[in-house]
Amino acid sequence: MEGSSFDEVWRGVFTVQPEPPQWLVIAAGVAALAVVLARGPWKLARNVVTIAHEGGHAVVALLSGRQLTGIRLHSDTSGVTVSRGKPTGIGMTLTVAAGYVTPSLVGLFGLLLLLNDRITALLWVTILLLATMLLLIRNVYGVVSVVGTGAVVFLVSWFTPAEVQAAFAYGFTWFLLLAGVRPVAELQSQRRSQPSPQSDADQLHRLTGLPGTVWVMLFGLVNLAALALGVWLLLF
């Protein structure tokens, strides 16, 4: 889109792009799986998962009527979303429960756009969501993380040909679907080795009475179901 006018950019966002070949979709999935499984790339890419995780807390907090104070993202890929409101009840429960399932659900949303050949729309929706989230970030690393992620998506959408945009969009969607599963396993591992009353699962235990392990299992089931649906829609 380099050198395009605003009207041309706006039309381009809502233009239907050609469906990419199946080999590209598969290759993008393999590349995303490699990022999730490899220790080095995962450590960097997990920041994207944290952005989605905390964004999920923030969106549900607002929808449930809570007052959102801010979001912090940390260099160890942890994060915290602070909101004000009733400390118990359905609103608080849904807010806490949203984090671990959001990356997978966002991946499914992206998949719906891709199945309708809205590749550019997916990239620009991502940019707009990141820009909105940036207004809520309250620490320097969080700003760097969100701006860096948005800059990568923008550069791909603005300066690369349609084939590269398609590969990136499918890879990004595959990554969210696949990456939603690993943090849930990491959560349970951390709960066994270094128990923390502040983990989402343990907060939900206090809010609902259901054991934290049950919540971990629910997170895992939702994310595995999203992944299975994604695989079926993309490959069959």
CB atoms within 10 A of CB 166: 23
Q: Is residue 2 part of a domain?
A: no
Q: What is the pTM of this model?
A: 0.94
Q: Which domain holds residue 113?
A: 20-235
| Residues with Cβ within 8 Å of residue 207, at least 6 apart in sequence | 88, 92, 93, 96
Give yes or no for a contact between 120 and 15, defined as CB atoms under 8 angstroms apart.
Answer: yes
Q: Is residue 15 part of a domain?
A: no
Q: Kindly state the DSSP code that residue 196 receives in the 8-state scheme.
A: -
Q: Is residue 91 part of a domain?
A: yes
pLDDT bracket for residue 14 (50, 70, 90) = low
Tokens 């490899």 found at: 38
**Structural domains in the chain (count):** 1
Give yes or no for a contact between 19 and 117, defined as CB atoms under 8 angstroms apart.
Answer: yes
- What is the structure's pLDDT at 197? 87
Give yes or no for a contact between 182 and 36, defined as CB atoms under 8 angstroms apart.
Answer: yes
Q: Is residue 129 part of a domain?
A: yes
Least confident of 14-18, 76-80, 146-150, 232-236: 14-18
CA distance readout (Å), 75 to 72, 138, 206: 10, 14, 28
Q: Is residue 58 part of a domain?
A: yes
- Report the share of the chain in percent with pLDDT over 70: 94
Q: Is residue 34 part of a domain?
A: yes
Q: Is residue 3 part of a domain?
A: no
- What is the structure's pLDDT at 73? 98
Q: Is residue 7 part of a domain?
A: no
Q: Does residue 81 sit in helix, strand or coil?
A: strand
Mean pLDDT of 150-160: 95
- What is the structure's pLDDT at 18? 85
CB atoms within 10 A of CB 132: 13
Least confident of 11-15, 102-106, 109-113, 148-152: 11-15
pLDDT bracket for residue 194 (50, 70, 90) = confident
